[in-house]
């Protein structure tokens, strides 16, 4: 019997596995290999090559988690031998920077985390970041290195590698049932395995509730997201060296809260600038078939058009080769802050990552382990 069984090999589950195994817990982590989106049963939030990482957050707790996670990347990269962090900085731009919620606690962030943002006028912004449209008329606030982006797939591989080096068992399967008892849990998998553990941590992202893995419900919603990948050539990517990750307070009837990564070479060998956003066409998902149908979807013409238009407006000089839409999913908690909850004496769940916790997955996983053993 294991001390801890973790359901879900995402940023949080794999972070939990790293910390549990490091603390000497007999650890098992269960989750499937990534498969093609068209046939994947549990396509998850981190199946991508870029996730922004920065210290700007709506409250100090989230910022401290991000800061702690940023500090741990190098150790995880070194132990695993897998690189996943690029410290290119994160730039926020707007006509009114107060629209970014974190600017209301800027002084507290700088004091408690011990760093300084850099400010840019519309003119100095273009001088420093010449890839931007010179007519934007926006001001900027820059959170420099070690902020930037992580490759979430590589980060998860690195966390899992560390966990396995420390003795954790990795089971590549989908959990179909979690049965809590007074003194242990029993986990059943799709391939017919039965796993027993003293404690379970449920970290299956959008699927935790949809698979019936929460012994008591934890309030959260599941929301669709859409991103656009703007393809550029390798030569263009070279000219954009030094481009930061960005958060963009865009003005649009269709999209809001946009963010983007600098050029990243994806697993297909092509270079893309990825832009994501909320949109008025996002829907709240209620069932597993509805989510699986959404993930297999390819065509979101209105959102695609608005996201492409924003990329072209921001970077009129970049010669994009083409654009493609990719669907994704996030979870939200009513408070906007992720919930680490004991849903049973033997089961701890992490729910409601609010579209921003890939970067801090390792630290959130650590807190889930602490809560589980408390």
Ligand X SMILES: Cc1cc2nc3c(=O)[nH]c(=O)nc-3n(C[C@H](O)[C@H](O)[C@H](O)COP(=O)(O)OP(=O)(O)OC[C@H]3O[C@@H](n4cnc5c(N)ncnc54)[C@H](O)[C@@H]3O)c2cc1C
Check binding of 355 to ligand X (CB under 6 A). Answer: yes
Stretch that binds ligand X, among 3-11, 18-26, 103-111, 313-321 (CB under 6 A): 3-11
Residue nearest to ligand X (CB): 10
Check binding of 180 to ligand X (CB under 6 A). Answer: no
CB-based burial label for 210 (10 Å; 0-12, 13-18, 19+): buried
Q: Kindly tell me which of 185 and 330 has the beta carbon lying closer to ligand X.
A: 330
Q: Kindly tell me which of 11 and 262 has the beta carbon lying closer to ligand X.
A: 11
Of positions 328, 340, 368, 369, contacts ligand X by CB under 6 A = 328
Q: Kindly tell me which of 133 and 354 has the beta carbon lying closer to ligand X.
A: 354
CB of 354 to ligand X, least distance (A): 7
Check binding of 361 to ligand X (CB under 6 A). Answer: yes
Query: In this structure, what are the phi and psi dihedrals at residue 337, rounded to the nearest 5 degrees?
Result: -115, 135
State both tokens at 141.
Answer: 């606030």
Q: Note whether 365 and 19 are within 8 A (CB).
A: yes
> Rounded to an integer, what distance in angstroms lies between the CA atom of residue 139 and that of residue 370?
41
Q: Print the binding letters for residues 159-178 with ligand X: x by CB under 6 A, - otherwise.
A: ---------------xx---
Q: Note whether 189 and 173 are within 8 A (CB).
A: yes
Enumerate residues 264-323 that contact ligand X by CB under 6 A. Answer: 276
- Between strands 347-351 and 194-202, the pairing is parallel
CB-based burial label for 217 (10 Å; 0-12, 13-18, 19+): exposed
Stretch that binds ligand X, among 120-128, 264-272, 292-300, 328-336 (CB under 6 A): 328-336
> Rounded to an integer, what distance in angstroms lies between the CA atom of residue 177 and that of residue 14?
20
Bridge partners (DSSP) of residue 344 are 347
Enumerate residues 221-250 that contact ligand X by CB under 6 A. Answer: 225, 227
Check binding of 42 to ligand X (CB under 6 A). Answer: yes
Stretch that binds ligand X, among 76-84, 120-128, 129-137, 206-214 (CB under 6 A): 206-214
Q: Note whether 227 and 275 are within 8 A (CB).
A: yes
Question: What are the Cα distances from residue 341, in Å, to 199, 229, 335?
Answer: 13, 35, 14
Check binding of 4 to ligand X (CB under 6 A). Answer: no
Check binding of 215 to ligand X (CB under 6 A). Answer: no
The residues binding ligand X (CB under 6 A) are 7-13, 30-32, 42, 44-46, 51-52, 174-175, 203-207, 211, 225, 227, 259, 276, 328-330, 350, 353, 355-359, 361
């Amino acid at each position: 019997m294991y001390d801890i069984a973790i359901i879900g090999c995402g940023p949080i589950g794999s972070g939990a596995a790293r910390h549990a195994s490091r603390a000497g817990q007999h650890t098992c982590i269960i989750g499937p290999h990534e498969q093609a989106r068209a046939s994947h049963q549990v396509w998850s939030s981190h199946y991508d090559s870029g996730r922004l990482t920065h210290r700007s957050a709506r409250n100090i707790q989230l910022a401290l988690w991000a800061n702690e996670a940023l500090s741990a990347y190098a150790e995880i990269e070194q132990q695993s031998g897998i690189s996943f962090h690029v410290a290119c900085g994160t730039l926020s731009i707007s006509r009114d920077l107060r629209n970014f919620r974190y600017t209301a606690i800027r002084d507290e962030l700088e004091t408690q985390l011990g760093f300084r943002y850099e400010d840019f006028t519309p003119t100095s912004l273009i001088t420093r970041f010449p890839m931007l449209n010179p007519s934007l008329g926006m001001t900027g606030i820059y959170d420099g290195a070690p902020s930037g982006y992580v490759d979430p797939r590589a980060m998860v591989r690195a966390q899992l590698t560390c966990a396995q080096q420390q003795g954790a068992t990795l089971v590549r399967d989908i959990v179909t049932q979690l049965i809590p008892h007074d003194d242990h849990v029993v986990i059943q998998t799709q391939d017919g395995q039965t796993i027993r553990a003293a404690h379970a941590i449920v970290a299956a992202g959008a699927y935790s509730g949809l698979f019936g893995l929460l012994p008591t419900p934890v309030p959260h919603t599941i929301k669709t997201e859409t991103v656009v990948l703007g393809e550029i050539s390798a030569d263009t990517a070279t000219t954009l060296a030094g481009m930061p990750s960005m958060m963009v307070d865009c003005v649009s009837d269709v999209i809001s809260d946009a963010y983007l990564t600098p050029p990243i070479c994806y697993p297909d060998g092509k270079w893309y600038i990825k832009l994501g956003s909320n949109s008025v066409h996002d829907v709240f998902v209620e069932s597993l078939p509805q989510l699986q149908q959404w993930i297999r979807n390819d065509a979101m013409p209105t959102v695609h058009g608005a996201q492409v238009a924003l990329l072209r407006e921001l970077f009129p000089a970049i010669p994009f080769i083409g654009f493609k839409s990719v669907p994704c999913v996030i979870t939200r908690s009513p408070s906007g802050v992720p919930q680490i909850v004991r849903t049973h004496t033997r089961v701890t769940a992490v729910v409601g990552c609010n579209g921003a916790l890939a970067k801090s997955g390792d630290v959130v996983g650590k807190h889930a382990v602490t809560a589980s053993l408390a």
